[in-house]
């Protein structure tokens, strides 16, 4: 018997929608619950201890209320801080979003890669370990952006965000040739799920062309693979769930998930 899974996706705000859209593309028949912990946004300023203290009980409540088949932590800051404690606390399968250092280093020809994340993400031991284990012969520059996730939220909600503000956050990613004896940066890891929301601006404002590495398609493949291990997945036609998709803001805001996703699907409401 095939099944149509319930998938819980969690971020600090709306950045996780950039991961969710890839999962919806792969599994349109699933039931989705998207949770934005916007009462605590931005996570980038929080300590590891604060994130663990906030997220472990929150996820416990969400698992209790929604019985998801899988939990996707669609936030780098959360993932590098709390994935271990979450896996230790709950038996549900978890998929995290962590800086895509390995694919970026594999793709880089100049062997100079930057990781653009929140301040918290670039400071975490989890991220440092990814560099130690997967940077291969690359020189990696860590760039902690204090405001870029908030600028992405602003842009998504239709507020004016200046080029100068975005540029000042991304400029440290661009290490020119000769600095430290190397070639110039040619790959930048989007190590925050909010940043793909600004991709058109990043492409336009970059001092020179680089590959912007977004792990979201790989995360969607991982979700499909793990759910497939639980049983045969229902065909990708419209969902047969008796409960509708949900969007939950911990601040109490209200919006439908179809409405939030529509801009990612050319204005159409996904099935």
Which residues form the interface with ligand DGL (CB under 6 A)? 11-13, 15, 41-44, 75-77, 118, 121, 149, 192-194
Query: In whole angstroms, how close is the CB of 91 to ligand DGL at the nearest point?
Result: 25
Determine if residue 76 is labeled as part of a ligand binding site.
yes
Query: In whole angstroms, how close is the CB of 11 to ligand DGL at the nearest point?
Result: 5
Straight-line distance from the first to the last Cα atom of the chain, in angstroms, rounded to the nearest whole number: 22
Rank residues 13 and 68 by Cβ distance to ligand DGL and give the closer one: 13
138 is known as an active-site residue: no
Beta strand segments in the chain, E = 6-11, 31-36, 70-73, 94-95, 112-118, 139-145, 187-191, 211-213, 246-249
DSSP per position, 148-189: HHHHHHHHHTT----HHHHHHHHGGG-PPTTGGGSPPP-EEE
Determine if residue 194 is labeled as part of a ligand binding site.
yes
Q: Which of 75, 105, 138, 173 is catalytic?
A: 75
Rank residues 2 and 157 by Cβ distance to ligand DGL and give the closer one: 157
Determine if residue 126 is labeled as part of a ligand binding site.
no
Rank residues 29 and 122 by Cβ distance to ligand DGL and give the closer one: 122
Which residues are CB-contacts of 103 (< 8 A; sequence separation ≥ 6)?
Answer: 213, 215, 218
192 is known as an active-site residue: yes
Q: What is the DSSP letter of 139?
A: E
Enumerate the known binding-site residues.
Answer: 11-12, 43-44, 76-77, 193-194
The catalytic residue positions are 75, 192
């Amino acid at each position: 018997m095939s099944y149509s899974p319930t998938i819980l996706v969690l971020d600090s705000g709306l950045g996780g929608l950039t991961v969710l859209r890839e999962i919806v593309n792969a599994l349109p028949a699933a039931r989705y619950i998207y949770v934005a912990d916007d009462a605590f946004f931005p996570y980038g300023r929080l300590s590891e201890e604060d994130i663990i203290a906030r997220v472990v009980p929150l996820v416990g409540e969400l698992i209790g209320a929604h019985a998801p088949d899988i939990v996707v932590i669609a936030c780098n800051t959360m993932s590098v801080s709390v994935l271990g404690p979450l896996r230790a606390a709950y038996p549900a399968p978890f998929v995290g979003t962590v800086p895509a250092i390995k694919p970026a280093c594999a793709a880089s020809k100049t062997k100079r890669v930057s990781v653009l994340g929140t301040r918290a993400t670039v400071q975490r031991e989890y991220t440092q370990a990814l560099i130690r284990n997967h940077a291969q012969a690359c020189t990696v520059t860590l760039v902690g952006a204090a405001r870029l996730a908030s600028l992405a939220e602003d842009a998504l909600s239709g507020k004016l965000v200046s080029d100068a503000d975005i540029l000042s956050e991304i400029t440290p990613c661009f290490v020119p040739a000769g600095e430290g004896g190397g070639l110039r940066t040619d790959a930048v890891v989007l190590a925050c799920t909010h940043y793909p929301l600004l991709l058109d601006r990043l492409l336009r404002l970059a001092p020179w062309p680089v590959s912007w590495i977004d792990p979201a398609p790989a995360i969607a493949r991982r979700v499909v693979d793990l759910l497939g291990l639980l049983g045969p997945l229902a065909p990708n036609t419209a969902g047969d769930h008796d409960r509708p998709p949900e969007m939950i803001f911990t601040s109490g805001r209200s919006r439908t998930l179809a409405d939030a996703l529509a801009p990612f699907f050319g204005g159409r409401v996904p099935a």
